[in-house]
Chains A and B, each alone.
Chain A
């Protein structure tokens, strides 16, 4: 058990609880950026350097900017909820307890003999040097062994861009204005 691990996890817990309590959405979004940056440091500690890099650039950077852009349009105060708070709490506690029960059967953290390391991963580690030739195993798995997956992911990003354009883009805006005018008449 690494002391830095524990400190980072504790800071993530504190940040997450602060997000729940925060009524000011601007502060909540900034805390989410901090949460994301903390998780990026944790990924780097867990040897996932590529993931840490992505999380720092995307989670802490772009998604904070987008959320702030939305807050500028929708207002940054959250209203007090009118419904009772105990029902969601019960649902969350029950779900969490079920998940916690599930972890007891999980293999130990960091054990080299976990089933997850015994299936295809060791082939990637042993053979990718000869088969693909790039030193970064993550790149060779991402681009070569699992190229189909990545093609799908890129298509999802493309679709999301098209979707945002369809919802808020210039064409959508003029169509909406025309509809609004017809409504007024």
Chain B
């Protein structure tokens, strides 16, 4: 990919905007269409685009394997942890009303936390799946072991 200046430059220009748009979708999901599922996928697509143009190794240096795996698990843990927190504060599992001083802001906080958890896991899962498939090809495919 050394000789494709248009692709390289436009990828570099687009990547920050894709990431920003993903964050917008993540935190604006309460008001318009969007939420953790979409945001995670869009965030992952920025990394996928980056690795398609600049190579898998470069993208994996940005996001090492250990961090990818930690993110994969931590999203589910944030989600379940929000549920546990609402038990500890005297409500039922995943009843966010008790999380803050009044029910509405509790709901707001709870929804934001669990959407963040959803986004993290979806993002990590998509990136891991893509990197794993792409990594197979780099090793010369299934026949070249």
A/B contact in complex, CB under 8 angstroms: yes
Size band of the interface chain B makes with A: 35 or more
Tally of A-B residue pairs with Cβ under 8 A?
Answer: 144
Interface-facing stretch out of A83-91, A117-125, A135-143: A135-143
Q: Does A100 contact B (CB under 8 A)?
A: no
Task: Please give me the residue from chain A that is nearest to B97 by CB atom.
Answer: A131
Shortest Cβ gap from B125 to chain A (Å): 4
Q: Does A157 contact B (CB under 8 A)?
A: yes
Q: In the complex the two chains form, what is the Cα distance from A164 to B124 in whole Å? A: 12
Which residues of chain A come closer than 8 Å to B94, judged between CB atoms?
Answer: 147-148, 151
Q: Does B98 contact A (CB under 8 A)?
A: no
Interface size on A, residues (CB 8 A): 48
Contacts known (A136-B31, A139-B35, A143-B114); A165 close to B132, Cβ less than 8 A: yes
Q: In the complex the two chains form, what is the Cα distance from A150 to B29 in whole Å? A: 15
Besides A132-B111, A148-B93, A154-B75, 5 more A-B contacts (Cβ < 8 Å) are A50-B34, A54-B41, A136-B32, A157-B125, A160-B125
- Chain B interface residues (CB < 8 Å from chain A): 25, 29-35, 37-38, 41-42, 44-45, 48, 65, 69, 72-73, 75-76, 79-80, 83, 93-94, 96, 103-104, 107-108, 110-111, 114-115, 117-118, 121-122, 124-126, 128-130, 132-137, 139, 141-142, 145
**21 interchain pairs, CB-CB under 8 A:** A53-B33, A57-B41, A58-B37, A69-B134, A134-B30, A136-B30, A139-B29, A139-B30, A140-B111, A144-B96, A151-B94, A154-B117, A154-B122, A157-B122, A157-B125, A158-B121, A160-B129, A161-B129, A168-B132, A169-B132, A170-B135
